[in-house]
Every structure is written in C-alpha cells, then in structure tokens.
Structure 1
Amino acid sequence: MTHKYNITGMTCEGCKASVEKYLKKVDHITEVKVDLEKGAAELTMDSHVDTATLNKALPDKYTISAAHEKQVFNTENTVGMPAEESKLKQLKPLLLIIFYISAASILLHYNNWGWSAFMLDFMGLFYIVFSFFKMLDLKGFPESFSMYDPLAKRISAYGKVYPFIETALGLMFLMRFEITIALVVTLVVLGITTIGVTRTLLDKKAIQCACLGTALKLPMTEATFIENFIMIVMAILMLINML
C-alpha cells in the first residue's frame, strides 16, 4: 500500500536525500519517493506505519504528516488544535519582529512625527533585522531562498549575495544615503521575490520561508506576501513623494 505525506524542513537536495535515507530504514517501508519542491512524499509499505514512528525516524528539523491532515506546517504535537491556531504559533516570531520594528520606528519620531521619516526607518530596520537572521546561515540560506525566488533559482550567486544586498539597503535607508536608488532596488528585489511567493501560495506548496533565514522554521504563508507587499507599497509612496 502507498500513502502520501507532507514533509516540512527540507530546503535542498541534501535534505531530500537525508529524508529518503532515514525513511528507508524504517521497518515495513519498501519504497520512498520524495518531492522537494512540493514538500511531499509517497511511502510504499507492506504493513502500516503510523506518523509518530515516521517522525521519530527523522532528524528534528523535519516533520512528516499525513497529506490529508490540515496541519501541514506542524512542527510540534498539535493534535486537536485548529489549523489557523497552529499557523499563528508558527508565525509568532515573524509577527513579533515586525511589531518591534514598527514600535522602534514610531518611538524614534514620537516627538517630531513624520510619515516619510517613519517609513524610511521602518524599511531600514526591516532590512537590517531580516538580513541578520539570513547571515546566521549563509550556506543554507541560498538553497532555501531558491525554492521560491525566480532569480535565485536561475542565478545561484544571487542567493549568496542577497543578505548583503539587504544589509546595504538597510544602511542606505537609515543613513539617508541615495534613497532613490535604494527605493528602486527595493521594488526590483522584493518584486521578484513576491512573484515567487505568489506562485508558491497559488500552487499550495509546503515549503519553508527563507525571509528569516534558516534559523527559524517559518512556513510559506500569506504573511510572507503581506510583509513584502507592505515594503513595496512604502517604496512606491516614498518615490511618489519625492517627485
């Protein structure tokens, strides 16, 4: 008999090979087929093996669940928990980071409020913080990023330099240096990424978001699209204001 499963935590061909290796060692599993892009697997068994046993066979960075289960991005025991609640827990680090960036940007100008200054500091802090998490794993980030970014898929070097591009853009916004160039580059790089994110969401692929690098396991959800969309809208508003 063959069963279909969702697998989270895979970011590269090495991950795929690792998952296949460990699953093939499980008793009663006769064949393993893993699809990296879809985050899915087909397991052929001569006797049923429950998901708890399959998860124990895999390293902690991977999570396997039956394809019919709604908790596609489940990384902990959430039996009986609504899918939306589970997704919210997954996105908690991202939401907290955006909250702190917003709060810091507001506090910097609470005595002398100005929307332009707020947006520049928000964008600058956004890039600096997000690039920091990408810097934690410069080797693993490009592989994860290329899973959905169209340009990173075609040009591997782009994924390698992307964290440094973000750092440079962050400094340019915070230092008010060549803001027009920084805004145009923001529209280009985030526009490309947003296209890839949109395709991934429409295809309902279960992959890991690389917006915070590989240090935090974040599912690719609508939140990724929204954060990029906010930055793009801010960049457009700033460019219009500068005309």
Structure 2
Amino acid sequence: MTHTYDVTGMTCNGCKASVEKALSALSDVENVEVDLNSGTATIKMHKHVGVDALQNALSDKYTISEKDTKNVFSSTQTVKEEKSELKQLFPLFLILGYILIASTLLNIKPWNINGFMLDFMGLFYIVFSFFKLLDLKGFPQSFGMYDPLAKAVPAYGWIYPFIEVVLGLMFLMRFQTNIALIVTLVILGITTFGVTKTLLDKKSIQCACLGTALKLPMTKATFIENAIMIVMAIFMIIKTLDV
C-alpha cells in the first residue's frame, strides 16, 4: 500500500534526505520518496504505519500529516505514478555511455587498453563528482544512508566528492596511478559493501552516486557500476605487479 503525506519544516535537500532516512528506517516502510517542492512524502508500506509512528521517527523540526486527498491504494494507480526502473536509471546509463565512448576515442588509434581503463576511471570520477558537488549540502546525508564509513564518520561524506575529483585528475594525468588504484579499491569497496547490504535488506532508498541533483533509486545497476571500477582497478594493479 502507498500513502502520501504532507511534511512541513523542510527547507533544503539536506532536510529532504533527513526525512527520507528517518522514515525509511521504520521496519514496515518499504520505500520513501520526498518531494521538496510540494512538501510531500509518498510512503510505500508492507502494512499500515500510523501517523503518530511516522511523526515519532522524525525530529521535532518536521511535522507529518495526512493529505486531504485520498491515499493511493490501487496497484493500477501506483503503476501509473511510478516511473519504471529503467526510465529512472536512464541518466546513469547515458552518462556511463558518454564516458565509455570518450575513453574509447581517446585510445582507439592505436588501441591502448591500459589508457582506456585509466581514462574511463578518470572521467568516471570527474563526472560523478560534478553531480555530487551540485548539492554538497544534501549529498552527505544521502550518502550516509548506505555507505558504512560515511554513516560512522559524517565528515567523510563531505570530503568524498573532493576525493573523487583528486582521483579523477590523478588517473587522467597519469600521476601516482598506483596510489589512485589502491584508494579506489578501498573507497569503492566500502561503498559496494553498503550497497550490497541495502539491496539484500530490500530497502528502497535514493542512490547518491550522482548526488541528489538526479533522483536515482538504489538498484543492482549501482552495484554493477561500482563493480566495474573495482574490477578495472584490480586488473591494473595486477598488470603493474607483473611488470
């Protein structure tokens, strides 16, 4: 069942992330989508959760109440209102496609697999950090919902986009690439662990891979995206050791 509620007290994307995180933590809540512009929260539940329980999950800054319009129960209405997963992930696939094409063109004559991988990882970090920096205030809270280190050390969420910028430049400039590869394995390994746990727990939360500017769901595509980078980093480290 899906219900839509009015939420007051939200002023920024950070507030939006806080509300989504608090409501998503409730055991009977399957998915939470907060619209900052309309001040509403659409909550998909395994079984009905009362307004009092929802309010108790939020800080005193926010007030949640039932909308005057009727709640959405019909599966037909839900299907019409919800975007398909593929459509939601289209921006991610489009960006990855552009990065793939650019990396290929940069190394096609003559073909250089090492250069392709380094350019792919460099462009990946630069492009993805750009979207995170568009809303630096809201990103840390969204990121902390699934990344274990960002959850334990909030400051890590604030500096993570800048870490991506530095790593991207290191790969593109071929500067200390071995260090960049090791750091990639560490930070993406931590994030992938959190993504895997979220998927196994079947929690539906917003993915922060492209920041909060683009609303993307946490899906297997997020896992695959990180896995590709990890496999590339491992491949390059092995090649370096062989040399």
With normalisation by structure 2, the TM-score equals 0.74
Percentage of matched positions with identical amino acids: 60
Tell me the SS of whatever aligns to 2:89.
helix
Q: Give structure 2 stretches of 5+ with no counterpart.
A: 47-75
**In the TM superposition, what is the alpha-carbon distance from 1:41 to its structure 2 partner?**
5.2
The corresponding residue for 1:29 is none
Which of residues 42, 47, 68 in structure 2 aligns to 1:64? 42
Q: Distance in 2 between matches of 1:145 and 1:36?
A: 14
The corresponding residue for 1:205 is 203
Q: Give structure 1 stretches of 5+ with no counterpart.
A: 20-33, 43-54, 69-76
Q: Distance in 2 between matches of 1:78 and 1:95?
A: 27
**In the TM superposition, what is the alpha-carbon distance from 1:166 to its structure 2 partner?**
0.2
Q: Distance in 2 between matches of 1:139 and 1:58?
A: 15
Moved over 2 A (4+): 3-7, 10-19, 34-42, 57-63, 65-68, 77-81
Question: CA 1:66–1:160 in 2, change beyond 3 Å: closer, same or farther?
Answer: closer
The corresponding residue for 1:235 is 233
Tell me the SS of whatever aligns to 1:64.
strand
The corresponding residue for 2:92 is 94
The amino acid that maps onto 2:189 is G
The corresponding residue for 1:37 is 25
Tell me the SS of whatever aligns to 1:124.
helix
Which of residues 186, 189, 192 in structure 1 aligns to 2:187? 189
CA RMSD between the two structures: 3.4
Q: Distance in 2 between matches of 1:129 and 1:17?
A: 25
**In the TM superposition, what is the alpha-carbon distance from 1:35 to its structure 2 partner?**
2.3
Q: Is the 2:195–2:222 Cα contact (8 Å) retained in structure 1?
A: yes
Question: CA 1:188–1:228 in 2, change beyond 3 Å: closer, same or farther?
Answer: same
Question: CA 1:136–1:18 in 2, change beyond 3 Å: closer, same or farther?
Answer: same
The count of residues paired between Structure 1 and Structure 2 equals 205
Q: Distance in 2 between matches of 1:200 and 1:6?
A: 24
**In the TM superposition, what is the alpha-carbon distance from 1:230 to its structure 2 partner?**
0.3
Q: Distance in 1 between matches of 2:112 and 2:39?
A: 44
With normalisation by structure 1, the TM-score equals 0.74
Q: Is the 1:151–1:158 Cα contact (8 Å) retained in structure 2?
A: yes
Question: CA 1:88–1:179 in 2, change beyond 3 Å: closer, same or farther?
Answer: same
Q: Is the 1:37–1:147 Cα contact (8 Å) retained in structure 2?
A: no
Question: CA 1:87–1:145 in 2, change beyond 3 Å: closer, same or farther?
Answer: same
Q: Distance in 1 between matches of 2:116 and 2:36?
A: 45
